[in-house]
Amino acid sequence: MEHRIIVIVCLAALFSACNGTEQEKGGEGAAEGSLAWIEQRIVEHPGDADYFAMRARYYEALDSARLAEDDWRRTIALDSSDAHWRIALGDLYFRKLRLADAEQRFQEAIALSDTFTEARSKLSEVYLVQSRFKEAMIVANDALRLDPLDGSLYNLKGWIHRQAGDTDLAISSYQTAIERAPDLYDAYISLGMLHAARNNDLALDYYDGALSVRPESVEAHYNKAMYAQEHGRDSLALALYARIKEIDPGYPAPYYNTGYILLEHEKRVADARREFNLAIERMPDYAQAYYSRGVTYELENKLDSALEDYKLAIGLSPQHTEAALGLSRLEKRGLKVKVR
């Protein structure tokens, strides 16, 4: 359909158009893809579902769920035979956790197109969120019978097995997923996490697989660093934390974890404190960083500073056991540690 091409092209302009002044202009003077432009097309083509779909996407970009829902309903009323519109409305319901409504729309889409795997995949996800694992697996397998080479469906099966508690089958499904689709980042991350939980060094290989797909992934770098840190590979962990700092300088965790290694493993107290300071600069309510900085002060017999940091940690996290123990140690050394 001619207008379907227009829809696809114009969706890319929606986010920039949302804040532009051109959208206030009406008629032919409106910027293509702006709300005013879309509404003018609706006036000119009131029976064309594509333009109502375009406006629904526009409203979704603004998080105006009610207006988007209204337009998806109009789209379906105008073109009731296209399963894509019901999937789009189901996606909206799913994001808003209206799971019963999402389930109905996806089932309707399946009824309209019996060979359409996307609707089955999404219906399976609805069941998965509800912990209806058996139903989720039945629908996922139905989709796989239609397209046995779809790696994303094996990735979905991995999630179902994982949430149901069968990690062996989860690993098997994720491995099949990356065999079918070597660029499935999520499957590599899941395999890394499952093998890390088993203290299996294959975790590192799977995190490397994730990084081959997304070289700048903070998640993959961080997961790999944590595995290295927890298994005595401090040099690797520190190098990975340094890389994360380059990718996302505002992320506090790599600074804290670097400080932890320097303090606990290398006894470099002053260097560790500098890292904790950097973590706190990036997240001023980082209770654990205050506690760990307090430890560095305590080790150097700067007890007043240690006291202040332990109090800050407890103030931010009243159940912080380590900070409470730190205060107890300081009290035994003669400091008044009453916490306000």
Closest Cα partner for 110 from 76, 133, 78, 86?
86
**How much is the pTM?**
0.84
CB half-sphere exposure, 16, CA atoms < 13 A: 7
What is d(CA 33, CA 37) in angstroms, rounded to the nearest whole number? Answer: 6
Predicted confidence at residue 20, as pLDDT, reads 44
**Per-block mean pLDDT, blocks of 10 residues, the chain (340 long):** 40 44 50 91 95 96 96 97 96 96 97 90 98 98 96 98 97 98 98 98 98 98 98 97 98 98 97 98 98 98 97 97 96 81
pLDDT tens sequence across 299-335: 999 999 999 999 999 999 999 999 999 999 999 998 9
132: Cβ contacts below 8 Å, ≥ 6 apart: none
Q: Tokens 């260097």 label which residue?
A: 271
For residue 338, the model assigns a pLDDT of 75
State the residue for tokens 């700067």.
Answer: 302
pLDDT of residue 144: 97
Residue 336 is predicted with a pLDDT of: 85
Exposed / middle / buried, residue 246 (Cβ in 10 Å: 0-12, 13-18, 19+): exposed
With 0-12 / 13-18 / 19 or more C-beta atoms within 10 angstroms meaning exposed / middle / buried, residue 99 is middle
pLDDT for the residue numbered 340: 56
Residue 287 to residue 106: CA distance in whole angstroms? 44
Coil, helix or strand at residue 247: helix
- Domains, the chain, ordered by start: 182-247 (1.25.40.10), 250-340 (1.25.40.10)
The number of beta carbons lying within 10 Å of the beta carbon of residue 241 is 26
Phi, psi of 252 (to 5 degrees): -80, -30
Eight-class DSSP state of 31: P
> What pLDDT does residue 83 have?
95
Q: So what's the pLDDT on residue 114? A: 81
